[in-house]
Amino acid sequence: MRSLLLAMVVSLPLPTLALDIDGKVDPTEWSSAQRVDDFRMTQPLTREPSRHATEAWYMATADGLAFAFRNHQPSDVPRTRQRFQRDDNGNVDRVNVYVDFDGDGRSGYNFMLALSDGIGDGTIANENQFNTDWDGAWQHAVSEDGDSWSAEILIPWHIAPMRRTDGDTRTIGLSLDRVVGDTGERMAWPAVSYTEQRYLSALQKVEVPQFSQSLLAVTPYIVGLYDNIDGGADIDAGVDLFWKPNGQFQLSATLNPDFGQVESDGIVVNFSAIETFFGDKRPFFTENQGYFEVPFGSLGNAQQLIYTRRVGAPADDGSGSGDVTAAVKINGSVGGFGYGVFAATEGDSVGRDFYALRATRGFEGQSIGAMVTRVNRPFLGREATVYSFDHQWAPDARWNIRTNLVGSSIDQRGETVRDTGAQVRIDHELGDGWRQQFYMLHSGGDLQLNDFGFLDRNNFNYARYEISRRFTSLPESSPYASHQWRVAASRRSNDNGVHIGNAFAVNRNSERRDGGNQFFEIAAWTPGHDDLITRGNGVVDHPGKLYAFAERFFPRKKHWSFYGSVNYNAEGLGGIDRGAWALYLEPTYAVNDNLSVFAGLELQRNPDLTLWRGGDLLGTFGSEQVFLNAGTAWLIGSKQELRVRLEALGLDAEAKRAWRVAADGTPVRSHDALDDFALRNLGFQVRYRYEFAPLSYLYLAYVRGGSLFGAGAGPYSVRDEFSGAFDLRDSEQLLVKLSYRFEI
């Protein structure tokens, strides 16, 4: 209770000594800070007092929000000091700071600091959806002694836009937590967990002195590229600009943003009618992008109205990637409203133009938002406009209701097509570990969001109910610390009255006392119809489907950690007894706290791979696949990093039978000839990075890759395809990139 009262006290701006962020909690420096010691267990989520004593302090200074932690950890609890790449922390001793600078539960930031002095950061939107693509510039340091380790963090005010408030104070949402890497235990103040349906809006509201901080940051970059295939070389340059004159206005701009291959996508094999979602690590496109993240189309955060990978995606004329000339983004607030403006343009006559405007307003217990986006695509003679309205209402701590309405208007070569969609999500905490969720989605047959957004399909109606129960009072002798059981039932159809299928699923997520975790899921679909596989050439009757998945993670003990999973997926025309099996094993060996090596191998066999072969023709194949995912990370001190990443894939598919889709949707055996086919892929990268200063880097990279698809000229074997992948050399490049952030 004393800590709670302290948290609600208004901290008046008092003269304080300048903070030295050195990881050593000096009582003199932190004498005017608010102290927190009521850390309670949130992993497992018992909300009982933690057995590991933790003290924390926070205060607002002219330089930013400052935090200190003293984490008591006796010698009989091993400390994990494994170094890691940014945002890739794993099971290590660490602390987290979660801040909602406006205190309205709409958007927040996460700052993580590990005992190894490694860091991670990201944005939080829609209560508990984290995105680690964003990287910020903030100060941090750690130290340790025999019985504890300490951490200090300073987050500058210019790191995020903030609404203007009256008076000398502002109300923020705040949460602090600590994780013991060896056991996986997490303790937090207040006792809320991001696994709960309400997280961001449940952060502790505290008042702090109001400060304003301005920043002008200019980050020029230069990239040199040598192509070892054609012998050509290229040099490119660009600049990113960030200007924040005060808390109520922030501008980000970029000229010729870098697409250098220092961050590369992994290998993906996708034969379906639904595209693959990829994240975005380009600095401009991650800077305060959370304000524009309006989810629509699923319970997760991948499907959104703005998918920044559309900017600079393959050009409409097929000439390669779009050349982004410039982009600008403005975030701010005025008169109680938040607003955001986004604009980007691609060069040459076929380049696209992207625009977005968003406004939000918060009220007691609820908030509303509206957004409009527009994309001009001159090569297609197409102009796509999308409108949206979103509303969130939390009548009390147990209920959270989120509603989204969208509409699209597509003008293409003199014709206009319009349609709408809507979704509602209701989360309800029932108490005693029980919770329920209801979700409904409608997307019209002509709703088109993918000029700028990401929607896996339209012409879709979906209803889902889930009930779950959390168990935390397990015997001390149990290897498990907690279980979370979920049971869900759902129904899918399209706007043409086609019943796609009903589904039932049950899963369990378990936290183990050794710091690891375990998960399994079983899901079954009734017989139904597939209205996507033929790409508009008919609806296919489909038998029932069955899906089963299990995974286990063993955290590092001494030098080894391990991950494994097994998967059964029956979704072809052969029914539930002809599913695909997949086994994935990935051991990791830590040579020491700075150097680790991993190698993951997946083996897959599918006797009933069902694919579209054009028109109303389907084919079933017997396929085998081998996938290797291996690499090493060497953290050389606090400034240098050497990373090696290798992905190789081999797949062969033997034609089994052909099918024609009858008018009533029945698959009918046909005598059409089908070709066997095979695929091999390679992705290999060696990357060295040196950090001059925060967000200022030198990269040296060697990148090699390739892909080869063959059909009809077999016989093929998965062994030959996999071994042959290592000979691929479609591209081979040497890249040097230098960027330096100047703060003015």
At which residue do the structure tokens 């989605």 appear?
441
**In 3-state terms, what secondary structure has residue 569?**
strand
Backbone angles phi, psi at 304, to 5 degrees: -140, 165
Residue 199 burial (10 A CB sphere; 0-12, 13-18, 19+):
buried
Half-sphere exposure of 246 (CA within 13 A, CB side): 7
pLDDT > 60? residue 508: yes
pLDDT > 70? residue 9: no
pLDDT score recorded for residue 6: 39
Q: Among 8-17, 69-78, 115-124, whose mean pLDDT is lowest?
A: 8-17
Query: CA 735 to CA 222: how far, in whole Å?
Result: 11
At which residue do the structure tokens 């086994």 appear?
583
Structure tokens at 559: 């030098």
* Maximum average pLDDT range among 163-172, 353-362, 393-402: 353-362
Query: pLDDT digits over 174-190, tens only?
Result: 999 999 998 999 999 99
CATH code 2.60.40.1190 region(s) in the chain: 2-211
pLDDT > 80? residue 714: no
pLDDT > 60? residue 521: yes
Element (H or E) spanning 286, and its range? helix 283-286
**In 3-state terms, what secondary structure has residue 267?**
coil
pLDDT > 50? residue 15: no
Average pLDDT value for the chain: 92
pLDDT score recorded for residue 131: 85
Query: pLDDT digits over 208-262, tens only?
Result: 999 988 999 999 999 999 999 999 999 999 999 999 998 889 999 999 886 555 6
pLDDT > 90? residue 583: yes
Q: Among 286-300, 478-492, 581-595, 705-719, whose mean pLDDT is lowest?
A: 286-300
pLDDT score recorded for residue 305: 95
Nearest to 297 by CA among 429, 157, 448: 448
Query: pLDDT digits over 143-168, tens only?
Result: 998 899 999 999 999 998 888 888 88
Helix, strand and coil percent figures for the chain, each rounded to 5: 5, 55, 40
* Maximum average pLDDT range among 264-273, 390-399, 618-627: 618-627
Q: Per-residue pLDDT averaged across 63-83, rounded?
A: 92
* Residue pair 311/354 in contact by the 8 Å Cβ criterion: yes
Residue 682 burial (10 A CB sphere; 0-12, 13-18, 19+):
buried
Nearest to 120 by CA among 101, 135, 104: 135
Q: Per-residue pLDDT averaged across 331-341, rounded?
A: 90
The model's confidence at residue 364, banded by pLDDT at 50, 70 and 90, is confident
Half-sphere exposure of 487 (CA within 13 A, CB side): 3
Query: CA 211 to CA 13: how far, in whole Å?
Result: 10
Q: Per-residue pLDDT averaged across 525-537, rounded?
A: 95
pLDDT > 60? residue 580: yes
Query: CA 154 to CA 113: how far, in whole Å?
Result: 11
Q: Per-residue pLDDT averaged across 361-376, rounded?
A: 92
pLDDT > 60? residue 12: no
User: Does the 2-211 domain belong in CATH 3.30.56.10?
Assistant: no
pLDDT > 80? residue 499: yes
Pick the more confident residue, 365 or 643: 643
pLDDT > 90? residue 349: no
Backbone angles phi, psi at 720, to 5 degrees: -65, -40
* Maximum average pLDDT range among 153-167, 293-307, 333-347, 398-412: 398-412
pLDDT score recorded for residue 260: 52
The model's confidence at residue 16, banded by pLDDT at 50, 70 and 90, is very low
Across the strands, what pairs with 701?
687, 735
pLDDT cut 90: percent of the chain above it = 76
The model's confidence at residue 133, banded by pLDDT at 50, 70 and 90, is confident
Structure tokens at 693: 């200063």
pLDDT score recorded for residue 342: 96
Structure tokens at 729: 């050399």
Query: pLDDT digits over 414-458, tens only?
Result: 999 999 999 999 999 999 999 999 999 999 999 999 999 999 999
Structure tokens at 622: 């017997």
Query: CA 557 to CA 589: how far, in whole Å?
Result: 10
